[in-house]
Structure 1
């Protein structure tokens, strides 16, 4: 899809967080392929350099949990896009551990809240003026089914993603009447190279998450949905999209060994 904004000579622009791997990386690559100008950000410079080499996107090392780092992001966005920005795509975040409430590790809970909620808040607050100025703006949050469905061992991630979900809902109400869409994409089981490994800290344990599931979602599947949401006519707002593999009926209900 050819990405043009209100002016036929101006390409649509986006900042994508969490772009070093997984859904963020796939989304940055997909938007470039769609014709967008993309500033892809994450903490790991070497991963970003590889993405830039592959796609031609702009990159910047950013830690969304750090105020000064996010301020540098806002400045770089202004340099590249002239004070206007069409989309912010929040992918940075993640899960840490599977502790039950009675044994909760407070440091992990704090880390998840900082990444998923406060990180999204910092970036939104810093870039929202440019999104508003574009006249065709989107703030898209990649949350999770965990934002909407509790499950044993998921309480910390449930709480963090529910917080991000409520951030999106409140922002949508606050921007009502402006030309800014607020979109939430809530993926279910997605097999990426790092999500479960980071959460569990062990490759064998991470691989077992997907045992018996022939086709979990991929990062590219999620990027397809994000691309559709951002490229849809701007009067069409996908407030909330839940996307799961066929084998998954709920966060804790997965058909294994069924050939799906």
Structure 2
């Protein structure tokens, strides 16, 4: 069998790092992209340059992204799966108190960078009748206080995935929107500027989703028969469910 190749963004931690490990263990080649070259190099050192190719760049830098694509080694040039995992939430403040700079960074990373890489890789994915897995979030479906722009970006990812699938109808390319709930990774540390206490309190006793859970889910989706497409997949820990609506009452 021909070895398949996956491009996994945000591969330096969390879902991305776990997904690299899962796909390499399954015999795939992996293009691991992210900003932190030292972490990417650790993946290459552990698995070998023939199995993992490190593409170090900031997803918001389109020129660097194009250069990474143009300089892919021959063995990694054919893309069978794109996992759009890179993304972030910044801040927990309400809209009226939030940082505009953080809003723009979330949009630039979660939306603009995702659609840019997808557009650039579409010809290769169509040629290989490949698949696209976009990591969205339940935040795109269920609003919560302080979710504002982060939730908006994830709603975009979900809707973009569905429209992308319609446009690719007949091409053989599969598209999936994966929408996790509470997951314990570096997510909350990034969101709170490194507040370990806040992270620990959020996940304490909740038995949240793990990075390995999402990696296993991606592996299952990628290896389904080619005539099947999981279009949307919402995943929550058993301990989590959608909250009720809030009501403000005059005194």
Q: TM-score, length-normalised on structure 2?
A: 0.91
**Structure 2: runs of 5 or more not aligned:** 245-251
The answer to whether the aligner puts 1:122 opposite 2:128 as a matched pair is: no
Deviates more, 1:229-238 or 1:56-65: 56-65
Partner of 1:171: 164
Q: Is the 8 A contact 2:3 2:28 kept in 1?
A: yes
Q: Which residue in 1 is equivalent to 2:35? A: 43
Q: 2:87 aligns with which of 86, 93, 112?
A: 93
**Counterparts of 1:150-169 in structure 2 under 5 Å?**
150-169=143-162
Q: For 1:117 and 1:76, how far apart are their aligned partners in 2? A: 24
Shift of 1:104: 2.5
Structure 1 residue 79 corresponds to structure 2 residue 74: yes
Question: 1:187-202 counterparts in 2 under 5 A?
Answer: 187-192=180-185, 194-201=186-193, 202=195
- Deviation of the 1:94 alpha carbon: 0.9
The offset of 1:78, in angstroms, is 6.2
Report if aligned partners of 1:64, 1:122 keep a CA contact under 8 Å in 2: no
Instruction: Determine which of 3, 8, 11 is the counterpart of 2:3.
Output: 11
Go from structure 1 to structure 2 and tell me whether the alpha carbon gap of 1:113 and 1:121 turns closer, same or farther (over 3 Å shift): same
For these two proteins, the number of residue pairs brought into alignment is: 240
Structure 1 unaligned spans of 5+: 1-7, 254-260
The question of whether the paired residues in 2 share the 8 Å contact of 1:70 and 1:126 is answered with: no
> 1:228 Cα deviation (Å)?
0.3
1:229 aligns to what? Answer: 221
Please name the residue that 1:24 is paired with: 16
What is aligned with 1:52? 44
CA RMSD of aligned residues (A): 1.4
Look up the match of 1:5. none
